[in-house]
Amino acid sequence: MAFLSKNMARIPASQTMVVSNLARELAAAGQDIISMSTGEPDFDTVPVAASAGIEAIRTGQTRYTAGDGTPELKQAVQAKFKRDNGLFYELRQISVANGGKQVIYNAMAATLDAGDEVIIPAPYWVSYPAMVAMCGGTPRYVRCHASNGFALNPVDLEAAITAKTKWVLLNFPNNPSGSVMSAKHLLAIAQVLRRHPHVHILTDDMYEYLQYTEEPFVTLAQVAPDLYDRILTVSGMSKGYAMTGWRIGFAGGRADLIAAMAVVQSQITANPCSIAQAAATEALLSAPDHISAWHQVFIERRDIVVSALRGIDGIQVHVPQGAFYAFPNVEGLYGRQDPDGIMLNTAADVATYWLKSAGVAVVPGEAFGYPGHVRLSYSIATDRIRQALERLSQACAALL
């Protein structure tokens, strides 16, 4: 009898390992590596959360809590949904978990049966296909075209829906493309979804605070209130409050789904860290005033990255409107040889060459179901970004 489960074979292995292992080796050997592969803000945790966390330790808030979130945190999440998204959720419609990651996993585990399909627009966040597979579902990909700013085309979405479709996973601002969805565009998506009442929608709004357009961020449940019962609205503390390590994510949705997600969570992790919950409570209760300063920094960095990349022959890049990633097309570099005579044929080859020759780590698009592209995170110090892009430009110029 095989030791590893059959299910393991369905879980994609991390495609980022080759580059990240090499980056570690080169750094250990003393090379100056600039990592543009990070997936978290480089800012400190917002002070209100940090002090509330310390206070929670001092006052002994260090025991098990209610499994899917303290009543205080659920109230704060409720207030946040109302303030930022114009959405009302009762407390029994709110779930808190160890990061948005666990929220999404709980939702899949609570709803998927073998054969159920989940539509995942590509490029996608790396964990979606793995989570769907772990829960016995089948991912179905819909390509968002770079020529269209990586927007999800409603016609393409509709073509992917079958009688077996259980969920559509929407993630805008998108990791890795930085693409966003306007209210008008969301309404066009809603129009399609109205025609398929058996389909549920998970909106992963993890980057909701990091949208740089004049039009503010909007989420599907806000623009299509008639779909409210079919939508699980997911967000969290990681990106908007620089709290990646605290591990708090949350969701609002229909009460029976939230109750089932609580059962899943109760059997695997129980409550998220009590201290982190206390910190998140205070952070959510105060308005996210830090965001406009972050926007200025990220917009400046984005513009540096985009204009430098556009100056490199063989690279094309769309201007990201949210999150902190640029996702350029590097296919124009294919067929060229590095100074050692090695031919670049894939985005992974390009990433490996950039790492070896320029000491800059990026994530190849294969990891996001979108070959031909690489993801550069501009959530690192601005002078390091300038340095990295200068090195990339030289490395590309050295190709034959």
How far is the C-alpha of 375 from the C-alpha of 144, rounded, in Å? 16
How far is the C-alpha of 308 from the C-alpha of 22, rounded, in Å? 25
Residue 322 in the binding site for ligand PLP (CB under 6 A): no
Residue 101 in the binding site for ligand PLP (CB under 6 A): yes
Residues numbered 154-193 forming contacts with ligand PLP, rule: CB under 6 A: 171, 175
What is the total residue count of the chain? 400
What number of other Cβ atoms are within 10 A of residue 175's Cβ? Answer: 25
Least gap, CB of 242 to ligand PLP (angstroms)? 11
As a three-state string, the secondary structure of 18-34 is HHHHHHHHHHHCCCCCE
Least gap, CB of 210 to ligand PLP (angstroms)? 11
Among 178, 236, 252, 314, binds ligand PLP (CB under 6 A): 236
Using CB atoms within 10 Å of the CB of residue 50, give its burial: 0 to 12 exposed, 13 to 18 middle, 19+ buried.
middle
R_g (Cα) of the chain, nearest Å: 21
Least gap, CB of 380 to ligand PLP (angstroms)? 16
Select the span of 41-49, 81-89, 99-107, 177-185 touching ligand PLP (CB under 6 A). 99-107
Q: How would DSSP label each residue in 262-327?
A: HHHHHHHT-SPPHHHHHHHHHHHHS--TTHHHHHHHHHHHHHHHHHHHHTSTT-B-----BTTEE-
Binding mask 12-51 for ligand PLP (x = CB under 6 A): ---------------------------x------------
Residues numbered 347-376 forming contacts with ligand PLP, rule: CB under 6 A: none
How far is the C-alpha of 395 from the C-alpha of 356, rounded, in Å? 10
Amino acid type, 227:
L
Select the span of 96-104, 115-123, 144-152, 262-270 touching ligand PLP (CB under 6 A). 96-104
Residue 271 in the binding site for ligand PLP (CB under 6 A): no
Cis peptide leading into residue 173 (ω within 30°)? yes
Select the span of 53-61, 74-82, 95-103, 356-364 touching ligand PLP (CB under 6 A). 95-103
Residue among 228 and 241 whose Cβ is closer to ligand PLP: 241
Chain position carrying tokens 């109302």: 82
Least gap, CB of 368 to ligand PLP (angstroms)? 10
Residue among 206 and 317 whose Cβ is closer to ligand PLP: 206
Q: Which residues bind ligand PLP (CB under 6 A)?
A: 39, 99-101, 125, 171, 175, 204, 206, 236, 238, 244, 249
